[in-house]
Amino acid sequence: MIRLARERSRFVCQQCGALHAKWQGRCEGCGAWNSLTEEAPAPRTPGAPALRPGARRLHFVDLRGEGTPPPRAETGIGELDRVLGGGFVPGSAVLVGGDPGIGKSTLLLQAAARMAEAGRRVLYISGEEAVEQVRLRARRLGLSGAPLALASATALGEITAALEAERQAALVVIDSIQTMWLAGLDSAPGTVAQVRACAAELIRLAKGAGYALVLVGHVTKEGQLAGPRVLEHMVDATLYFEGERGHQFRILRATKNRFGATDEIGVFEMTEAGLMEVPNPSALFLAERRGHVAGSAVFAGIEGSRPLLVEVQALLAPSSGGSPRRQVVGWDAARLAMLLAVLETRCGLALAQNDVYLNMAGGLRIAEPAADLAVAAALLSAAADIPTDAGRVYFGEVGLSGEVRQVAQAELRLREAAKLGFTAASLPRRIARGSRPLVEPPGMALTEIGHLSELVAAFRPLRRRSAGGQG
């Protein structure tokens, strides 16, 4: 007599989705504490045939072929369409994440209402708010007249039954995926099993029916989308809504997009009438900049395909304790530590005993290495108490030996700076051989820097170390 092994329960991490045979306090996959939840294994069907009757066999084609770009359904919000790559693609699935209260539901309600006003069939399903709550927000935003189909539900069976009956829908918004639950699973809503199963079923329906699907997702304290990482692999695009709740600016960033560019951003301003587009974010980020203030420099950056000018602010203060503080907002703290070490070792500056505070004005997060030169200029300006040139921008990557390395799309950065009235730029020294001549904007003076010590030379009163270093 053959006995089949009994299916045993498993423990799944609610942060990363890692499987464990038994419960333990700390997940071995991501290191999170108290994140394991017991889940029953999925039922298996023994003896399933390799190919079901009537199923199609796989058909291979040549790599050569003529394809046309996928059609787009524009939302009427230019910044959102930019991040999506031109609008929603029929049959695509988009995951939108962000902190609570950052404006995810507001933006999607505005986009859904505009598409509905344009004559498209749009369904908005809320699992977190009642219908009257969504209506109240719509009235506050001036959208109550839009022909938007609205519903409040959390049971996936009810939602799929309604979606299967739809034939004309162009967009379906699920707010949020963590509130959905499938009756066949024993786990609670928001767990890994529920999120994964509900998302898979909704995406399957969207692919079959041909409408665009938007899933709203919660984020953890670390700013990552809650639930299993496999959810991000299941969708076609992942968008993050960034910004401080007390700040009026919001940044919508694409970290994955199968139908457009990644790292593209859209800039919005939160107002009483909802989220308003910011078509020229450089001018807005620099609107409150005061010239002739020490510790300020303007960085000419690139976010996706868009040039962007941002003010870098630095403040140095004598340290009162034994361990100097390093506070960074909007930039990588590890990169600041590296840049301070280069200034100390390669340029002979005594900055180690100072508290250093660095801020990217406007609430924007910069991950581009090209910001190194602008950060160095702000730090040098703060240390010497000498303002930088109010009409100058900076960009360039700094290496560990102090060399300033070239960065991509220098002409695009310079054109954006010239458009906003800047007349000078400090940039990496160009390599003569094998490179195309740089087209300089008219009326802009360029200062090429090969080593960080050349930038230090512009701030003469800086205190040097008594011995060693370049400079």
- Among the residue ranges 93-107, 282-296, 349-363, the one predicted with the least confidence is 282-296
* Both tokens assigned to 127: 């699992």
Query: pLDDT exceeding 90 applies to what percent of the chain?
Result: 55
The answer on pLDDT for 444 being more than 70 is yes
pLDDT of residue 443: 87
- CA 276 distance to own-chain centroid: 19
Residue 471: pLDDT band (50, 70, 90) is very low
Asked if the 78-279 domain carries CATH number 3.30.1600.10, the reply is no
pLDDT of residue 120: 95
Helices (H), 96-191: 104-117, 131-140, 156-164
**Domain 284-431+439-456 in the same topology as domain 78-279:** no
Distance (Å, whole) CA 423 – CA 418? 6
pLDDT of residue 328: 96
The answer on pLDDT for 51 being more than 70 is no
Q: In degrees, to the nearest 5, what angle opens at C-alpha 335 toward C-alphas 333 and 337?
A: 75
Q: Specify the CATH number of the domain 284-431+439-456.
A: 3.30.230.10
Question: Cis link prior to 320 (omega < 30° from 0)?
Answer: no
pLDDT of residue 435: 58
Q: Which residue has the higher pLDDT, 160 or 291?
A: 160
pLDDT in tens, 82-132: 999 999 999 999 999 888 888 999 999 999 999 999 999 999 999 999 999
In whole numbers, what is the pLDDT of the chain averaged over residues? 86
Average pLDDT over residues 378-398: 94
pLDDT of residue 121: 96
Distance (Å, whole) CA 37 – CA 52? 35
Question: Which CA distances in Å does 339 have to 295, 370, 373, 398?
Answer: 15, 12, 9, 8
Q: In degrees, to the nearest 5, what angle opens at C-alpha 282 toward C-alphas 355 and 448?
A: 70
Residues facing 302 on adjacent strands: 307
Average pLDDT over residues 181-185: 88
* Cβ count within 10 A of residue 68: 5
Whether the CB-CB separation of 87 and 75 falls below 8 Å is answered with yes
Global confidence as pTM:
0.77
Average pLDDT over residues 161-170: 92
Q: Which residue has the higher pLDDT, 56 or 198?
A: 198
Q: In degrees, to the nearest 5, what angle opens at C-alpha 354 toward C-alphas 350 and 355?
A: 150
Is the alpha carbon torsion for 110, 111, 114, 115 positive or negative?
A: negative
Residue 48: pLDDT band (50, 70, 90) is very low
Residue 38: pLDDT band (50, 70, 90) is confident
Which H or E element spans position 208? helix 192-209
Which H or E element spans position 156? helix 156-164
Average pLDDT over residues 173-191: 88
pLDDT of residue 220: 60
pLDDT of residue 470: 38
Give 428's DSSP letter.
E
Query: pLDDT exceeding 70 applies to what percent of the chain?
Result: 88
User: Which one-letter amino acid corresponds to residue 372?
Assistant: D
Q: In 3-state terms, what secondary structure has residue 315?
A: strand
Distance (Å, whole) CA 388 – CA 458? 9
* Both tokens assigned to 83: 């991040």
Question: Which CA distances in Å does 377 have to 166, 298, 307, 395, 442?
Answer: 58, 9, 20, 10, 24
Residue 55: pLDDT band (50, 70, 90) is low
Give 298's DSSP letter.
E
Whether the CB-CB separation of 134 and 175 falls below 8 Å is answered with no
pLDDT of residue 188: 83
Furthest-apart CA atoms within the chain: distance in Å = 91
pLDDT of residue 52: 57
Backbone angles phi, psi at 305, to 5 degrees: -105, 5
Average pLDDT over residues 293-321: 91
The domain ranges of the chain are 10-39, 78-279, 284-431+439-456
Residue 462: pLDDT band (50, 70, 90) is low
Average pLDDT over residues 335-357: 93
Residue 42: pLDDT band (50, 70, 90) is low
Average pLDDT over residues 359-382: 92
User: Which one-letter amino acid corresponds to residue 180?
Assistant: M
